[in-house]
Amino acid sequence: MVNDTLPSPTKVLNAFHKQRQQINQAQLTKPSALLTKMSSPPPAKKARKSKSTPAAAATGGKPIDDLTALTTAQLYALSSRRHRDQSREAARLAQEERDRAHIALEQSQKLLERAQGHFDKMVENARDASREYQDAKELLAKVRQSTTNPGSAVPLAVDYDDDDDILKILSSQKKKKGGGKGSSSGGTPGKKSQKFPYIEDLLISLAKSGQLHTGVKLHAASCNLVNKKDNYHFVNTMKLVEELWTEEEELFLRSSTKEIEESLEETKIIAETISLRCMTKLNEFEGREDSTPTNHQKPSFVAVGARARKVFHARETAAANLV
């Protein structure tokens, strides 16, 4: 197929040599005419009819320059659009980032306000607990002092700056309860003459055993100071304690065994406070005019449990009558 369209090499060479001979012969025969022909300018080619627009003809007939300018303008326009789109995308991303930051700031402010509210509530609860603790200390000191001196009147206000003073009063009271036998035998004064353990003794024992730290309910715990036959008194007493102890006292008594051992004095103070509160509330529940515990009222778990059972039974009866 190639041989049909292209001339053969032999024909090309023959034509070349023939043209070369003609040129040499022309140079030899007509040198002046050849020089004249070579020196004369080439004839002007006929101008091709352009298909330019009338606007291009009016501007001087330069369609190529106009096309170049138009192309350049279009490139600049495309570049401007691209930069504009990029700027709009960057602005949109910045707007979204600002909106997210604004939402996060609002959430942080809400969390901060909530935390501040919880903090204020905790501070208020701590103040209430501190006031209640001071009132209980003063009331405990009054009761112990009146028990120590039955014939003397109870002072209207007793101020104790240290818990050790209350512990001294309590220890002196127990020594007087124990008498000579308790002190001469070398045991704990007052404990041997005590037939049934007091509420504070049970609470201290349960706190030391670590049962409360595991989350066990008071009335469901087991104490080695309680006989099986008196267990129902223990249950009623502990139910009363669960009604009357404060959240701070419960959290303290539910501390670990190590923490209880390290703060044994505070544990005793809290247990004594709860015991005194139980005696006072029982007098209120029973309708006594003076809720202050008397000298013959002992905070043993048997006596308190029997009285608490009557109070619980009265509540159940009243609730049944309302229904």
Q: pLDDT above 90 covers what percent of the chain?
A: 27
Residue of 138 and 170 predicted with greater confidence = 138
Q: What is the pLDDT of residues 11-58, one digit of tens each?
A: 656 666 677 677 667 656 555 554 455 555 555 555 454 444 454 444
What per-residue confidence (pLDDT) applies to 276? 92
Residue-level pLDDT at 171: 57
pLDDT of residue 2: 43
**Average pLDDT of span 298-318:** 90
pTM, entire model? 0.43
- Render pLDDT for 141-152 as a digit per residue (tens, 0 to 9): 776 666 555 444
- Helices assigned H by DSSP within the chain: 2-5, 9-29, 31-39, 54-58, 63-148, 163-184, 199-209, 231-244, 247-253, 257-262, 264-285, 301-322
What's 66-132 look like in SS3? HHHHHHHHHHHHHHHHHHHHHHHHHHHHHHHHHHHHHHHHHHHHHHHHHHHHHHHHHHHHHHHHHHH
